[in-house]
Structure 1
């Protein structure tokens, strides 16, 4: 019989959880859930070697372990740091963490155009969420933003390099989902950019998934470009018969019209299953799909707020006739008591 692996006890913002050795701090925080989970712009669990680039998931380790209780001298990237038994982490409870996250957000927005009013990613953009939570009212930079010339990478995917934060998710996804490498990060430093080899179009059967892994609006769907705001559409779980992928997807509909098709994602915006280009770009008619029902959006966004449900603690408003009846009833009871 194999010996049972001892689990490590980890505490995040005062909440303790037991995880297997080798688990990262970010995954341990996700096991707890709630607001103690650090944000992540580059880490993507289904993609190997992702993470360690954006630094939005920085946390403070106030206790290294039971064996060595000394705190770590600097903030660490939770997506790349593995836990130790007895480790204590501060995320929301750490002022240093919040200040660092605010500074990282400011750095990410240094060259970002902030064109949310025209960006198709608005409403489901992770950088937009960080900007509202940690952003400054005005920029402190005086130089011009970094800009790039438009580049055509095919009929289905629109590349807007000015919005890119170089998280490398799309490059890692393409390396793992396609047989040959067609695009990557060119140059270094402030000149680094996502581009294809000699302006080659991205035409692999699964290359459309780079749209879903992009946390900002750098890669968007050409077939749904400027068609509708995401909060005006209704996400519906659906499936179809496909010989390339599972055929399980989310249809973003406006009435009976399919605006766009995406993968099914969890509350952290990570795809559960990849879909092919045929399901994503070509099957825009309801006859191809079997509707399963509305998609519940777990991630906090304007989409998840579109639930037409009455809050339980909402006060009940009465009309004038009901209010008059209640007031007469109260007055009669008061007279009886006198």
Structure 2
């Protein structure tokens, strides 16, 4: 007989589920699903060693484990903290965690310009969501923001370093998808910035994926810049015959015109299949694609609200059928 697989009991905001040992609080909460999943600006499951940089996923551990039920004295980064058997975590139900996330959001916005009206990422930006949920009405800093000139770091990619939050996702994606390293984080502390080596351009066949992993508008597609606001476009699942990648992508349409092409992402905005530059930048003719149907963008964004509105009182289906989603009253601690 095969040995029974050992599992840990994990609870977040009153929702309990059995999870495998060795996973983090963030991954365990994603298995439960629902609104209690902490946000993540730097963690990206497909990228090795990601996480631990932005601190937006801070949670309060109210019970360490069954063997040691003492709470952890400080907020912890859920993307870097492993689950223990019997661990109880508070996210939405913790005022301490919400205050910590609000402070982190303020820190991320210290140098970030509020140029959402002209940013191509507006409408699908995670920092925009955090700013709306936790941001202050005005900045409290008296220092000038860091400013950079927009830079072409390849034939297809524009870098707006002003918007960068140094999550390092693009660096990790380039390191793990390409054979040679041509860009990274230069300098340290408040002088740190993303840039390339002298006279280097990002031209690898898969380098366009750094645009998809960027959570803000720091890296944008030069072939689609200022072509349309994202909420005026219609995302469609489509496939093409490609010898470099799977050919599975999301084609963003405006009328009969293809505005841009991106990789397919899951509900946590993480890429499911990396696509090549040919599919992303060169195939803008509808005759080159086989359309499968509309793509539902499973997140609270204007994209979903415009095209696929759900009833307000409909309970969201959780990934774990044994877990129950907390109510809005539970979220605010009533």
1:83 aligns with 2:83: yes
Within 1, Cα distance between the matches of 2:306 and 2:147? 35
Name the TM-score, length of structure 2 as normaliser. 0.92
Name the SS of the counterpart of 1:258 in structure 2: strand
Deviations 1:283-330 (A, max 9, x none): 0000110000000111111101123668488xxxxxxxxxxxxxxxxx
Name the SS of the counterpart of 1:28 in structure 2: helix
Deviations 1:213-256 (A, max 9, x none): 00000000000000000000000000000000000000000011
Q: Would the alpha carbon gap of residues 66 and 250 (structure 1) be closer, same or farther in structure 2, given more than 3 Å must change?
A: same
Q: Which residue of 2 aligns with 1:155?
A: 155
Contact 1:151 1:199 in 2 (8 A): no
Deviations 1:158-202 (A, max 9, x none): 100000000000000000000010100000001000000114110
Within 2, Cα distance between the matches of 1:278 and 1:143? 43
Cα offset, 1:35, TM superposition: 1.0
Contact 2:105 2:130 in 1 (8 A): yes
Taking the TM superposition and a 5 Å limit, the aligned residue runs for 1:249-268 are 249-268=249-268
Contact 1:152 1:199 in 2 (8 A): no
Q: Would the alpha carbon gap of residues 24 and 137 (structure 1) be closer, same or farther in structure 2, given more than 3 Å must change?
A: same
Within 1, Cα distance between the matches of 2:113 and 2:312? 40
Contact 2:296 2:308 in 1 (8 A): no
Task: Name whichever of 51-60 and 4-13 sits farther off.
Answer: 4-13
Name the SS of the counterpart of 2:140 in structure 1: coil
Contact 2:150 2:158 in 1 (8 A): no
Cα offset, 1:2, TM superposition: 4.9
Name the TM-score, length of structure 1 as normaliser. 0.91
Q: Would the alpha carbon gap of residues 291 and 55 (structure 1) be closer, same or farther in structure 2, given more than 3 Å must change?
A: same
Taking the TM superposition and a 5 Å limit, the aligned residue runs for 1:161-310 are 161-307=161-307
Quote the RMSD (CA, aligned, Å): 1.2
Taking the TM superposition and a 5 Å limit, the aligned residue runs for 1:3-152 are 3-152=3-152
Contact 1:44 1:169 in 2 (8 A): yes
